[in-house]
Structure 1
Amino acid sequence: MDSNFIYLDYNATTPVDERVLDEMLPFFSTYYANPAGLHLLSLTMQDTIEEATEEIASAFRIRSKNIIYTSGATEGINLAIKGFQFSVKKHIVSIVTEHKAVLEACVFMERLGFEVSYLEVDEKGMLDLNALTGIIRQDTVLVCAMLANNETGVILPIKEISEIAHQHNVFVLCDATQAVGKMRIDLCDLAVDFLVFSAHKFYGPKGVGGLYISDRAKQDIFPLMHGGGQQQGWRGGTLNTAGIIGMAAALRIALDELQWDQQRVTHLRDALETELLDITGAYRNGHSPQRLYNTTNICFPGALSEQLIIRLKTISVSSGSACSAVTSRPSHVLKAMGLSDLHALSSIRFSLGRFTTEAEIAQTLEQVKQQVRKLRNLA
């Protein structure tokens, strides 16, 4: 990327770490055999993939047989939700602040005759666990709850959500796309039935992700992609060997450097946030203690985010999720937290990352303050 650009949109995607790329490169040109073959090169690829899978599984404290490779988190979400389309139980519970991949998959299930209940959140983006308990029914089959929100960084109490759901014999899907690589995730502790993640969110390649499926859940859902029987029949198609190697390397590096990264990025995020909140009328969206260390979402009343993003020119920030980063529609997440349309349309997400520098934060502060002032004067 041009050195003149400042990238503060790490929740949308991250650059591939050079160390990850180095591990991937041989699998494009030297070790390129299809891992589904029977000859020696294919068997070597199978062993390599198994080693990478064991490494990923170990990071989550699960068995490798419970990991299904996908093209990314969206595919994993669709498999987990739509896999219940033949279920006898026809009720799904979701949260209004879930990612569009979850919400749209739920809309699809409604077309198939399912009923979906959507739980509200408070002004901090937090869920009322009593409301969850009250909304679960005898015919509830699945609860969908993200670990960390992509727009605000708010972290939900997934362990408690799982406990409530399992008391009623209900499965839990956890969208951990934003959390993996930014926090340690122990699936023995969280005890969810499905968990999705995507490599490009933690400095790995695009086009590869994973879906964890518990042994218990495997008995109740059906695969969506049929083919050559790969991945225990759960997803047909040739495995993305280079992508899997890259994802394993990216996760290893992210967890090895997590403490250092957390301390450094938290310091930068707090410095950015503190000064931005000094702008008259500005306020933060989302629960402060329970959120990702790299994310801040701030409303600048009187300065529309679409106009502010355009004016910032060389600074990459967003007004919502990567699926609708610049849009005339207010964020469904911020609206659910009680913001008016105007304030939701005046909010900016800043998401920092591994390569963010103090100099970039200083330049961002100068530019944001200047452009917010100019927009307010124009208004």
Structure 2
Amino acid sequence: MQSSIVYLDYNATTPVDNRVLNKMLPYFSSQYANPSSPHLFGIEVLEQIECAQQDLAHLIGCGPSELIYTSGATEAINLALKGIENQNRRHIICASTEHTAVLDSCSFMEKNGYTVTYLPVSKDGVINLDLLKNSLRSDTLLVCIMLVNNETGVIQDIESIAGIVHRSSALLLCDATQAVGKIPIDVNKLGIDLMPLSAHKFCGPKGIGALYVNANVPRLTPLLHGGQQQGGIRSGTLNVPGIIALGEAANIAQKEMVIETEQIKSLRDYLESALLEIEDVFINGFSATRIHNTSNVCFPGVIAQQLILSLGNIAVSNGSACSAITNKPSHVLQAMGLENLYSLSSIRFSLGRFTTVDEISYTIETVKKLVNKLRQ
């Protein structure tokens, strides 16, 4: 009998890797100087920030100067969408399956005079490239399409999307929060102009993230005003421990991504093949290209919330952590054409660095028993 927590909710947040924790701890105590200070103590800290910045830049294939540190991906998304203001281009395109941080920011832009087109997706959650092409206008400023969906793990063809977007002289905002540190990313090869990310999605701490801004993107209008940190685009004393941790998380991901991907994919495939043995069970987005750690599984005849509570020490989710408490059908699954009854019967399993085969075996056994019990 498994007594400890079996954590299969890595898309919501991840445990901090001990190597990351150990790297950041001195910056709370012995190396506490403000990196904006002119004395040697501050300069030493600034040098360490620059090293961490290089590690993150290396992970995503950009220049260190193209990174703006934020409190996380949500702030980065808000900065990108609200800071890119253009009086001559007042049209935004947004995929209907985006994270609520993007959708709510687009809604804000609508209230401020912008027109937003919400693109539907296929039943597997994929953007239709011809529909995207036909939705672009002469005044389109920005297209918002995420790399990896946080609920289903579906991966979009960002390189092809970027080519279409740039031919219309628009910019591409690609939310890569669920992709950074998990799959290889080269922002220049993919053609991404703006890309938010968050450390706590790949074994870093909460409260630190970044926005990649291509050097050719016009200067963003800041959300925060104060000092001139980060060129005045994001004022405020830098979160030194967080930045150091983000850099170390990026460094570890860069070195271990290949072997980690193989291990997690093997566990994910084991989980899926076993759960598909249950009558009528299916995987949402199964036919699409998906990231290796995520399975969104529908258990017809079972209410997902009941199953989640019944699982006890097994931590899973029924969708995005930002909206799971609403107990409403997932907007992502609805956009994919899934009936509300099936949407409310779907659970997301997301695996990560510290998931073990014993945990997956225990989860399979427990889920099978509970599904049969709840169906009765």
TM-score (norm 2): 0.98
Q: Does 1:83 align with 2:87?
A: no
Alignment match, 2:245? 246
Q: Does structure 1 retain, via aligned residues, the 8 Å contact 2:126–2:288?
A: no
Deviation at 1:85, TM superposition (A): 3.6
The aligned runs of 1:115-264 (5 Å cut-off) are 115-219=115-219, 221-264=220-263
Deviations, residues 271-296 of structure 1 (Å, cap 9, x unaligned): 11001011111000014451110111
Identity %: 52
Q: Does structure 2 retain, via aligned residues, the 8 Å contact 1:320–1:326?
A: no
Name stretches of at least 5 consecutive residues in structure 2 with no aligned partner.
none
Alignment match, 2:19? 19
Aligned letter for 1:346? S
Q: Does structure 1 retain, via aligned residues, the 8 Å contact 2:143–2:171?
A: yes
Partner Cα separation in structure 1 for residue 106 and residue 269 of structure 2: 36
Deviations, residues 239-264 of structure 1 (Å, cap 9, x unaligned): 01110110110111112111111111
Partner Cα separation in structure 1 for residue 88 and residue 32 of structure 2: 43
Alignment match, 1:70? 70
Deviation at 1:332, TM superposition (A): 0.2
Aligned letter for 2:359? E
Q: Does structure 1 retain, via aligned residues, the 8 Å contact 2:84–2:218?
A: no
Partner Cα separation in structure 2 for residue 112 and residue 65 of structure 1: 30
Partner Cα separation in structure 2 for residue 176 and residue 3 of structure 1: 34
Deviations, residues 325-363 of structure 1 (Å, cap 9, x unaligned): 243200000001111111000000000111111111111
Alignment match, 1:280? 279
Partner Cα separation in structure 2 for residue 258 and residue 23 of structure 1: 19
Q: 1:80 to 1:38 in 2, by over 3 A?
A: same
Higher deviation after alignment, 82-91 or 163-172: 82-91
Q: Does structure 2 retain, via aligned residues, the 8 Å contact 1:85–1:112?
A: no
How many residue pairs get matched?
375
Q: Does structure 1 retain, via aligned residues, the 8 Å contact 2:197–2:209?
A: yes
Q: Secondary structure at the match of 1:46?
A: helix
Displacement over 6 Å in runs of 4+: none
Aligned letter for 1:228? G
Partner Cα separation in structure 1 for residue 139 and residue 215 of structure 2: 21
Deviation at 1:84, TM superposition (A): 2.9
The aligned runs of 1:289-368 (5 Å cut-off) are 290-368=289-367
Partner Cα separation in structure 1 for residue 86 and residue 131 of structure 2: 27
Alignment match, 1:104? 104
Partner Cα separation in structure 1 for residue 57 and residue 30 of structure 2: 26
Deviation at 1:3, TM superposition (A): 5.9
Q: Does structure 2 retain, via aligned residues, the 8 Å contact 1:28–1:242?
A: yes
Aligned letter for 2:115? E
TM-score (norm 1): 0.97
Deviations, residues 47-104 of structure 1 (Å, cap 9, x unaligned): 1111111221122221111100000000000000011345321100000000000000
Partner Cα separation in structure 1 for residue 370 and residue 28 of structure 2: 45
Partner Cα separation in structure 2 for residue 144 and residue 347 of structure 1: 26
Higher deviation after alignment, 148-157 or 80-89: 80-89
Partner Cα separation in structure 1 for residue 305 and residue 183 of structure 2: 31
Aligned CA-pair RMSD: 1.2
Q: Does 1:265 align with 2:264?
A: yes
Higher deviation after alignment, 56-65 or 121-130: 56-65
